[in-house]
Structure 1
Amino acid sequence: MSSEVKLNDSPIINAFKRIQVALMIVGPTGRILHCNPAADSLFGYDSGKLVGRPVFDVLAVTSVAELGAYIEPPAIDAIIKGIAGRTANGQRILLGAQMTVWTEAENGLQHALVLRDIADEVSAERRSRSELERANNAIVGAKIGVFDYVRKTESVNVSDLWRELLGVDSVDSDDLKREWLSKVHPDDLDAALESVRLCLEDQCERHSCEYRLRSKDDSRWLWIRSDMSIAERDRQGNVSRLSGAMTDITDRKATETALRRSEEQFRSAFQSTTIGMAIVGFDGKFLRVNPALCELFGYSEQDLVNTDIQALTHSEDQQDTEARLDLIKAGEASSYQFEKRYIRANGAVMWGSLSVGIVRDDEGRPDHMVSQIVDMTEQRRLNELKSQFVSTVSHELRTPLTSILGSLMLLSSMDDEPFSDQAQRLLFIAQQNGDRLHALINDVLDFEKFSAQQMRFDLSTHRIVTLVEEAILANLASGDKFGVRFDMVCPDRTLTGVVDPQRFQQVMTNLLSNAAKFAHTGSTVRVAVEEQEDAVRIAVTSDGEKIPESFREHLFQPFSQADSATTRARGGTGLGLAITKQIVEQTGGAIDFDSTEGEGTTFWFTVPSPKPQ
């Protein structure tokens, strides 16, 4: 009878077959002498199909010697973690094996292997290692020093980071305690020791405190947070070991200090400012008001907090106020400012300039609003008086001036009795200055209307080239006066824009007369008309002196003059550009200028293109 038959008949082998763990016996040539059904299943073979196959078909070894090399003499067994296997369909699997070797007189060298699939174990171990590494990185990154205190021996064990925070290299327990005690701020030592005492006396499971610790180089105080907890008890339930973590919170404390200082500054400014201020909820209710606001409305602080902004608003302005508040609530605006009327406690109407801004929480969500209210009642009254005065004076001047200019024109046109040259010169001077005064009065009246948003415009679609040509013809005399000529460039003569023709001519006259006034004698003022995306751009360029960049923000303000001496010599009221800007912007356009040394100055403005039908 062969040895294989003897083996198969062995009672041990019959028991071997019933074991649920994959088992395999390999002979001296590397062939599998026996394996149980669990081993067949592990490698994806039908029952009994592995017997007789080379073990190299299912394990990543090339010889019996390589397999035996896992066992280091004089040992006769070994645990192999991570040997590669191969299933019947060629799929790679990761195996763990326990192998035992022996020699039989009849069958020679034998290897018995207990096998299992460890893919899940390795994956779980890898995940665990990764989580442990992340946790360690978090501790290191957060600068958390870990420590243990054993009550019985009074010994302290600390991590490297704890030593780094404390700035000590010693590992001796007594040295560590002495170093720690010497570095804690004297004012904070009792609080720092309190956590240890409370946990040792079992008054709490855990306790936290914050204290100051001198830095490693002794140059400053670090803020430390210490979290202490009971880690272990003895058989009698008494506390035997404490563990804790020490974290550097200096940056957080600095942020808290800066925030507290900022809050104190805001509180001080809020309370002491002479401008009425309030913190308002999105329902319009006052959450907090300052003394200036109470004085402004004539209410006590409690009375104001018990009301809302709408209750103080004039009935005719409530709808506008609600509309602006709705924009804030919908997230379409983060702030707004406008003038409105309020009702004081005594029933008087007050004009106020209201400024509102949103304050958001840490997550960026709107939390409340901050409002400022400035009393504009007196200012508006004075503006109205000023407007009335200017209007009255201008009209009172215009009526007699018109008569004077008419009379001068009649005198100038009389041919029956010609005046002497001296008289004609005086008439010419009087008429020139009368025209200048008339233009000034018109400018002042126009400026007042524009400033009060009272100017009316008659907007319609017109061909821009035609209007520009008319403006150039109307200003030829101005060009002749200063010895310059006008030249127009317009590649597309069909361009149209939405304008008020009369006000367009006023803009062009201001720009052309200014260009002629400040251009060099004998030069050419160029007028360019070109199409833009949604507008038509008109540019007037002269070769005059460069306008200082420092004067840019003042140029369109009333009565502003870059060079007063030149302006006086050439004439001008200082209102032309301010009026021009108002006309352009109130009719939907934009205006600006470019000035370069040696290349002259270009004033340009735009008019809206007509919308497609």
Structure 2
Amino acid sequence: MHSSDKPKVLIVDDEPDQVELLCLQLEDDYLPIPANSGKEALDIVKDLNPDLILLDPMLPGVDGFEVCRRIKNDPASRFIPVIIISGFFEKSNKIKAVEYGADDFINKPIDRFELKTRIRSLVRLKKNYEALQESENRYKQFFNNSPAVTLLVEPGRGLIVDANDPACSYYGYTREELTAKRIFEINLMSGEKAGDLQQLISREKKGHFYSSHKLASGEIRDVEVYTNLINVKGKELLFTNVYDITASKQTEKDLVESEEKFKNLVEMAIDGIFVETDRGEILDCNNSACRMFGYTKEEMVGLTIADLVPEDFAKTLPERITAEETTGDVAVERVNKKKDGTIFPTEISTKLFKLGGEERLIAYVRDITEHKKSEEALKASEENFRALFEHTPDGILILDFEGNILSANAAVGEMVDAPLDNVIGSNIYNYLVPESGATDLEDQINVYNDRGGYLRTYKILSSNGETVWIEGLGTRIMYRNMPANIVVVRDVTVRKQAEKTLIDAKMAAEEANRTKSEFLANMSHELRTPLNSVIGFSDLIAEGTAGPLTEKQSRYIGFISVSGKNLLRIINDILDLSKAESGKMELDREEFCVGKSVDKVISTMLPQTKEKNIMLSHKPGTQALTVYADPSKFEQIMYNLLSNATKFTPEGGSINVFSEKDGEMVRVVVRDTGIGISEENLNKIFNPFIQIDSSMKRSFEGTGLGLSLVKKFVEMHGGNIRVQSKLGEGTAFTFELPASPSSGM
């Protein structure tokens, strides 16, 4: 574009550098005309009739507001758009600018794209005025071809008289739909505010305001509106340009939210944060800084960094601050002083930044008192470890994952009878006896790597040819920045020899026990055959099959039968115990009713309890209670417990049986009011062939097998049994068996 064709923009500012900057920003699209005073500007307006005026209100002599007023009061120049440019627009100045006729105002610093947009809009607006005056057709052409959203509105009733294509596109209506609406259907401004604005436009013949417009879709958009009162065919209409500023408003909102988030982050930070001048004066700080140093924020602001360090440290503070600034984000250590005089260590990182055009320093301060304590504790720990490492009688090795010995203490050298220098650097596999398996250790190390930790015993060969048993306990560590294993080894040769002796003795005892069980089983079997004949024939004789018996003969035969049956029961108990101990006893489990089984056993015990006038009762928790067990073994358990209770309960006593379900188990309690058991004898009662003292052997019959069998049977079912008793207060046996196949197995 030739310079003579460019719109003329008069730039009025008393600062030459500002004028020059604006000239450079506009010279591509406009013909800038500089002026440095109000008088000079008024003269240029008369001579050159510029297309737009950029006006600084702070001018010597005639100020910018007066210049604007004179231009707008002059019919020859009243339509020249005036943009007030200022670095400090207060609300009163904006109102004054509007009152004096300014078309727009922009804050410094100026965004050149916004400036060009505003200039372009106002220059176009001026051209529109000129075109409207020249020809209505030319006005129509401009109106319809304008890229800006433009409306013609009747001031009084708010009728939309016309709308250009961009307006129709923007609002989402056809021209017919849009011109059938009132501006109040689109503009969401309150009625009171709209009335005030209408009065201002009526008085000033123009207006500039911000509002929200509703589109056909229902979407609400933020807009900036420029409107001027024009005459079309003798009718005053509002020529209105609408600019969508939703994005910029959102940007402003995001900026505010971002600043608020930043402020919150600063306040919530654990570290103390300071903003300082280049002289070390504190301008601001967060709450953590106040808590750290013991000051309120009001006390802190205005202090200098020198106030927060010890006096001797303050002498070299300037040099230290300079050094800290050069480190950037790298933290340095410093000592600081609290309000109460407490000295404490800190870690500080600093960064320079611009704030309001001035250099500021932001400092992040962390109290490292606990960190220092941890360092000291770590140092002490390392010293303790070194002392332990060097002086412990156990060997300590550090191995890599291939078994190479990275480090070892003197005890290791003594174990293998080799110089420590020769041990370190060698491989642990070199010392293992082949029969213990080097690959076995490798497997153990791999297990450790996968699962964490191993404990294993190995045989090693010392340099003098002696075999040494060692036990190694290993775990993973980081050694010189690489993963490794630390293994504590101990000479367990003596223990292994003792273990071998113990194992041999155990095997001998187990063999003897097996021999005993087999002997008892064979002997019991041999005894049962003649005993069956004794019992059988004595019963036949008692029934009179061999002829009538005298009273004495009948009594003697009864003694033979009872003694034979007692002996058979003892033999059966011995056989059962032998089978249980040898693992040959099998259980035939099924679900059955606990109450019926208990009542069945009780019925067999009634003659004995009636003979001693003992009250025997059963209180089931529920009639439907079932247990998963071998019915015959369950009845044998109950018989032995009830028989034992009857034997040790004096005449007139009582025996109570209680059963209930507890989770997945069935609990049965047999409680008597018998003589009780002393505390020191409670742990003996389940041992076979044992009665608790010799006096009982004389006073009460029995072999001592019953309770031992009870315990075996209960445990074979996956249950447990316990006893509670006090001398003279009776005894309670409690056993638990699985309630179903899925429980307690």
Whether these two folds match at TM > 0.5 is: yes
Aligned to 2:145: 18
The reply on whether 1:247 has 2:373 as its aligned counterpart is no
2:155 is paired with a residue of what secondary structure? coil
Q: Assess, with a 3 A threshold, how the Cα gap between structure 1 residues 222 and 12 changes in structure 2: closer, same or farther.
A: farther
Instruction: Give CA-to-partner distance per residue, 1:386-408, whole Å, 9 cap, x none.
Output: 6589789999999xxxxxxxxxx
Select which of 445, 459, 463 maps to 1:343.
459
The reply on whether 1:182 has 2:307 as its aligned counterpart is no
The reply on whether 1:115 has 2:115 as its aligned counterpart is no
The reply on whether 1:225 has 2:347 as its aligned counterpart is yes
Aligned to 1:41: 169
Q: In 2, are the aligned partners of 1:277 and 1:373 still within 8 Å (CA)?
A: yes
Q: In 1, are the aligned partners of 2:337 and 2:344 still within 8 Å (CA)?
A: yes
Inter-partner Cα distance in structure 1 for 2:330 and 2:204: 53
Deviation at 1:55, TM superposition (A): 0.7
Select which of 283, 295, 302 maps to 1:157.
283
1:45 is paired with a residue of what secondary structure? coil
Question: Which one-letter code corresponds to 2:221 in the other structure?
Answer: L
Q: Please, which runs of 5 or more residues in structure 2 have no aligned partner?
A: 1-130, 518-566
Aligned to 1:383: 502
1:81-120 counterparts in 2 under 5 A?
A: 81=210, 83-89=211-217, 91-102=218-229, 111-120=238-247
Deviation at 1:180, TM superposition (A): 1.8
1:113-512 counterparts in 2 under 5 A?
A: 113-151=240-278, 155-161=281-287, 162=289, 165-168=292-295, 169-170=298-299, 175-182=303-310, 196-198=321-323, 204-218=327-341, 220-231=342-353, 242-250=361-369, 302=423, 306-307=427-428, 315=436, 341-346=457-462, 348=467, 350=469, 352=471, 375=492, 376-377=495-496, 379-381=498-500, 383-384=502-503, 387=506, 456=583, 458-462=585-589, 495-497=627-629
The reply on whether 1:603 has 2:734 as its aligned counterpart is yes
Inter-partner Cα distance in structure 2 for 1:588 and 1:39: 91
Aligned to 1:59: 187
Inter-partner Cα distance in structure 2 for 1:277 and 1:555: 48
Q: Assess, with a 3 A threshold, how the Cα gap between structure 1 residues 472 and 384 changes in structure 2: closer, same or farther.
A: farther
2:308 is paired with a residue of what secondary structure? helix
Inter-partner Cα distance in structure 1 for 2:234 and 2:165: 23
Q: Assess, with a 3 A threshold, how the Cα gap between structure 1 residues 558 and 288 changes in structure 2: closer, same or farther.
A: farther
Question: Which one-letter code corresponds to 2:145 in the other structure?
Answer: R
The reply on whether 1:589 has 2:718 as its aligned counterpart is yes
Inter-partner Cα distance in structure 1 for 2:717 and 2:399: 35
Question: Which one-letter code corresponds to 2:365 in the other structure?
Answer: M
Inter-partner Cα distance in structure 2 for 1:320 and 1:87: 80
Q: Which moved more, 1:591-600 or 1:244-253?
A: 591-600
**TM-score of the superposed pair, with normalisation by structure 2:** 0.51
Q: In 1, are the aligned partners of 2:654 and 2:672 still within 8 Å (CA)?
A: yes
Question: Which one-letter code corresponds to 2:334 in the other structure?
Answer: Y
Q: Assess, with a 3 A threshold, how the Cα gap between structure 1 residues 176 and 71 changes in structure 2: closer, same or farther.
A: farther
Aligned residues: 536
**TM-score of the superposed pair, with normalisation by structure 1:** 0.60
The reply on whether 1:50 has 2:178 as its aligned counterpart is yes
Deviation at 1:96, TM superposition (A): 2.0
Q: Assess, with a 3 A threshold, how the Cα gap between structure 1 residues 19 and 84 changes in structure 2: closer, same or farther.
A: same
2:428 is paired with a residue of what secondary structure? coil
Q: In 2, are the aligned partners of 1:196 and 1:228 still within 8 Å (CA)?
A: no
Q: Assess, with a 3 A threshold, how the Cα gap between structure 1 residues 393 and 9 changes in structure 2: closer, same or farther.
A: closer
Deviation at 1:170, TM superposition (A): 4.5
**C-alpha RMSD over aligned residues:** 6.8
Deviation at 1:177, TM superposition (A): 3.2
Q: Please, which runs of 5 or more residues in structure 1 have no aligned partner?
A: 361-366, 399-434
Q: Assess, with a 3 A threshold, how the Cα gap between structure 1 residues 212 and 581 changes in structure 2: closer, same or farther.
A: farther
Q: Assess, with a 3 A threshold, how the Cα gap between structure 1 residues 130 and 22 changes in structure 2: closer, same or farther.
A: same
Q: In 2, are the aligned partners of 1:547 and 1:601 still within 8 Å (CA)?
A: no
Inter-partner Cα distance in structure 2 for 1:593 and 1:195: 77
Deviation at 1:22, TM superposition (A): 1.7
Q: Assess, with a 3 A threshold, how the Cα gap between structure 1 residues 60 and 496 changes in structure 2: closer, same or farther.
A: closer
Deviation at 1:587, TM superposition (A): 4.2
Q: Which has the higher contact order (CA 8 A, sep 6+)?
A: 1
Instruction: Give CA-to-partner distance per residue, 1:325-349, whole Å, 9 cap, x none.
Output: 75x7776xx7787xx6421334637
Question: Which one-letter code corresponds to 1:342 in the other structure?
Answer: Y
Deviation at 1:226, TM superposition (A): 1.0
Instruction: Give CA-to-partner distance per residue, 1:177-200, whole Å, 9 cap, x none.
Output: 3312338xx6x7799766523256
Aligned-pair identity (%): 16
Deviation at 1:44, TM superposition (A): 0.5
Q: Assess, with a 3 A threshold, how the Cα gap between structure 1 residues 146 and 395 changes in structure 2: closer, same or farther.
A: closer
Inter-partner Cα distance in structure 2 for 1:515 and 1:286: 67
Q: Which moved more, 1:343-352 or 1:581-590?
A: 581-590
Q: Assess, with a 3 A threshold, how the Cα gap between structure 1 residues 462 and 251 changes in structure 2: closer, same or farther.
A: same
Q: In 1, are the aligned partners of 2:401 and 2:485 still within 8 Å (CA)?
A: yes
Inter-partner Cα distance in structure 1 for 2:417 and 2:175: 100
Q: Assess, with a 3 A threshold, how the Cα gap between structure 1 residues 495 and 396 changes in structure 2: closer, same or farther.
A: closer
Aligned to 1:403: none
Q: Assess, with a 3 A threshold, how the Cα gap between structure 1 residues 341 and 178 changes in structure 2: closer, same or farther.
A: closer
2:178 is paired with a residue of what secondary structure? coil
